[in-house]
């Protein structure tokens, strides 16, 4: 499948049309940004790791019955995906306090939550992706009540599948962000699942193995992505 026209360039990925109108090529860049792209950098070979990691996790979720936009891996940096209409709501699933939740509620990082916490953020960089709820989403017509019920149910299921998978490679899934889209009237998972969009802590040492190493200038960033890649492909 060859790339035709670039139709979208985001901070970490580019989307190209193909000769099939319902399929796109999703290309993963090495560019890294944080804090609404006020911090910018490059994580060498991140695009390769994120492409392959996402492909493996999408396959895992597909086998668990989660509808996904991923079709197949094309090469090191590209995957074929279904062309969805992205719902501009970032869904965060949290198992342990960290990042935005710790900041918002004045909580230490690392507190295990009694039950997974779902958060919705309006996907809008100029507004700094504000926290919104189901009422905002319906009032702004970002998604219907029925669609959000489906999204919440799928997000919790994805959390269960991923938590179990990562436990097998001695990684604690702290939190992660998902994006969904509409395809032929149905809600399906889109975007990526990678160390850019998840917090991964080594279950024995607590070492951070994700993009927080870039956000917080912790060093050994490439090594963390490579380590996650190795562990994910070890089973
Ligand atoms: P947060 O604690 O900063 O809200 O992040 C929650 C999770 O979402 C974390 O695993 C990182 C991921 N995330 C993204 O994928 N994109 C973003 O723009 C932000 C802020 C977080
Ligand atoms: N993608 C976000 C940005 O650049 C940052 C993040 O992942 O923290 O704004």
Q: In the predicted model, what is the mean pLDDT of residues 35-52?
A: 97
Please tell me if the CB atom of residue 176 comes closer than 6 angstroms to any atom of ligand 1.
yes
- The rounded radius of gyration (Å) of the Cα atoms in the chain is 17
Nearest-CA residue for ligand 2 atom 9 is 36
**pLDDT mean over 208-234:** 98
User: What local confidence, expressed as pLDDT, does residue 170 receive?
Assistant: 98
β-bridge mates for residue 82, sequence order: 23
- pTM listed for this prediction: 0.98
Mutate to test the pocket of ligand 1, among 11, 91, 99 (most ligand atoms within 8 A of CB): 99
- Check residue 181 and give its pLDDT: 98
Token representation of residue 235: 């089973």
Q: Is 123 in the pocket of ligand 2 (CB under 6 A)?
A: no
State pLDDT tens for residues 54-77: 999 999 999 999 999 999 999 999
- Does the residue 229 lie in any domain? no
Do 174 and 190 fall within a single domain? yes
The predicted structure's pLDDT at residue 135: 98
Question: What pLDDT shows up at residue 171?
Answer: 99
- Asked whether 122 lines ligand 1 (CB < 6 A), one says no
Distance CA 26, CA 30 (A): 13
Question: Ligand 2 in contact with 18 (CB < 6 A)?
Answer: no
Q: What is the pLDDT of residue 114?
A: 98
Supply the pLDDT for residue 186.
98
Q: Please check whether residues 16 and 60 belong to one and the same domain.
A: yes
The answer on 144 and 71 residing in a single domain is no
* Encoded tokens for 192: 């990526």
- Read off the pLDDT of each residue in 9-30 and give the average, rounded to a whole number: 98
Across the range 189-208, mean pLDDT stands at: 98
Query: What's the pLDDT score for residue 50?
Result: 98
- Interatomic CA distance for residues 145 and 123, integer angstroms: 18
Token digits for 52? 């392959």
Q: Give me the helices (H) in the chain, please.
A: 46-63, 99-105, 134-139, 145-167, 212-215, 221-232
Which pLDDT tens digit goes with each residue over 71-119?
999 999 999 999 999 999 999 999 999 999 999 999 999 999 999 999 9
118-174 pLDDT, tens digit per residue, is: 999 999 989 999 999 999 999 999 999 999 999 999 999 999 999 999 999 999 999
Give me the domain span that covers residue 113: 85-222
Q: Report the mean per-residue pLDDT for the chain.
A: 98
CA dihedral over 146, 148, 152, 154, signed as positive or negative: positive
Same domain membership, residue 47 and residue 116: no
Contact (Cβ atoms closer than 8 angstroms) between residue 203 and residue 172: yes
208 and 225 Cβ atoms separated by less than 8 Å: no
Q: Which ligand is nearest to the CA of 38?
A: 2
- The total domain count for the chain is 2
* CA atoms of 229 and 53, how far apart (whole Å): 6
Q: Report how far ligand 2's centroid is from the alpha carbon of 210 (Å).
A: 13
Residues 89 and 205 in one domain: yes
- Please list, in sequence order, all residues whose beta carbon lies within 8 angstroms of the beta carbon of residue 54, skipping any fewer than 6 positions away: 28, 70, 79, 192, 193, 194
> If you ran DSSP here, which 8-state letter would residue 69 be given?
S
pLDDT, residue 129, reads 97
Q: How many CB atoms lie within 10 A of CB 117?
A: 14
Does some domain include residue 68? yes
pLDDT at 54: 99
Same domain, 210 and 94: yes
Q: Is the residue at 235 inside a domain? A: no
Going from the Cα of 177 to the center of ligand 1, the distance in angstroms, rounded, reads: 6
Evaluate whether residue 62 is within a structural domain: yes
Residue finishing a domain among 82, 102, 123: 82
């Amino acid at each position: 499948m060859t790339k035709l026209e670039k139709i979208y360039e985001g901070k970490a990925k580019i989307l190209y049309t193909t000769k099939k109108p319902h399929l796109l090529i999703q290309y993963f860049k090495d560019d890294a940004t944080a804090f609404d792209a006020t911090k910018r950098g490059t994580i060498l070979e991140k695009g390769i790791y994120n492409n392959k990691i996402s492909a493996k996790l999408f396959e895992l979720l597909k086998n668990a019955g989660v509808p996904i936009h991923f079709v197949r891996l094309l090469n090191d940096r590209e995957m074929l995906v279904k062309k969805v209409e992205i719902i501009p709501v970032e869904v965060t699933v949290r198992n342990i306090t960290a990042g935005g939740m710790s900041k918002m509620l004045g909580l230490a990082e690392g507190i295990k939550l009694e039950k997974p916490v779902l958060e919705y953020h309006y996907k809008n960089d100029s507004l700094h992706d504000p926290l919104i709820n189901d009422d905002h989403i319906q009032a702004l017509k970002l998604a219907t009540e029925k669609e959000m019920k489906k999204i919440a149910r799928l997000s919790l299921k994805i959390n269960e599948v991923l938590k179990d998978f990562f436990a097998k490679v001695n990684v604690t899934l702290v939190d992660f962000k998902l994006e969904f889209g509409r395809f032929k009237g149905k809600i399906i998972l889109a975007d990526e699942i990678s160390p850019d969009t998840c917090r991964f802590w080594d279950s024995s040492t607590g070492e951070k193995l994700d993009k927080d190493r870039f956000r917080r200038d912790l060093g050994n960033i490439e090594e963390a992505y490579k380590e996650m890649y190795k562990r994910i492909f070890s089973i």
